[in-house]
């Protein structure tokens, strides 16, 4: 039985000091809504997902530095997207987004296209055109 006293209160980092509502029973077996500061198990799997996103962004950063991809490739992963999600956010076919991930094609994009990417990714056009200084 998940009793109120057994509800995990592990103050997990992925809640960033927030609490979530969970369902648990009191001594008489009566259900109630309880605030929880999180369960270690949840932290483990959320962190796994966040680490994977970071890993993809790091790999993308290297690919841009080496000149094999355009800065768009890094920004896409840094904003927790992939080609599928970015293409959907742009209302475009994936093959077009993939072309824009190539450095030469990217450089020759129109101002209008840059504005659309800037909107989809929530970044200024100037930010979009280059890599940020590495913060890690």
For strands 20-25 and 31-36, give the pairing.
antiparallel
What's the token pair of residue 26? 């009191």
Asked if 136 is part of the footprint of another protein (rule: CB under 8 A), the reply reads no
Question: For another protein, which residue of 4, 24, 63, 113 counts as binding (CB under 8 A)?
Answer: 24
Asked if 50 is part of the footprint of another protein (rule: CB under 8 A), the reply reads yes
Burial 110-121 (b: 16+ CB within 10 A, else e): eeeebebbbebb
CB of residue 81 vs another protein: minimum separation in angstroms?
6
Asked if 121 is part of the footprint of another protein (rule: CB under 8 A), the reply reads no
Q: How far is CA 33 from CA 18, 29, 65, 66, in A?
A: 16, 13, 50, 52
Question: For another protein, which residue of 4, 9, 39, 94 counts as binding (CB under 8 A)?
Answer: 39
Question: Nearer to another protein by C-beta: 79 or 105?
Answer: 79
**Contacts of another protein in 92-111 (CB under 8 A):** none
CB of residue 104 vs another protein: minimum separation in angstroms?
27
Binding footprint of another protein on the chain (CB under 8 A) = 1-2, 13-16, 18-25, 29-31, 33, 35, 39-42, 44-46, 48-50, 52, 79-82, 84-85, 88-91, 120, 122
């Amino acid at each position: 039985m998940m009793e109120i006293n057994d509800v995990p209160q592990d103050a997990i980092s992925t809640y960033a000091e927030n609490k979530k509502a969970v369902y648990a029973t009191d001594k008489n077996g009566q259900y109630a809504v309880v605030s929880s500061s999180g369960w270690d198990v949840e932290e483990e799997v959320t962190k796994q997902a966040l680490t994977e996103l970071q890993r993809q962004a790091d790999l993308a950063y290297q690919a841009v530095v080496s000149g094999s991809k355009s800065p768009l490739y890094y920004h896409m992963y840094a904003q927790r997207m992939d080609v599928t999600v970015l293409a959907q956010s742009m209302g475009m076919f994936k093959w077009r987004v993939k072309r824009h991930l190539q450095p030469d094609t990217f450089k020759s994009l129109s101002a209008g296209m840059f504005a659309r990417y800037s909107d989809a990714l929530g970044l200024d056009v100037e930010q979009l055109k280059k890599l940020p200084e590495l913060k890690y």
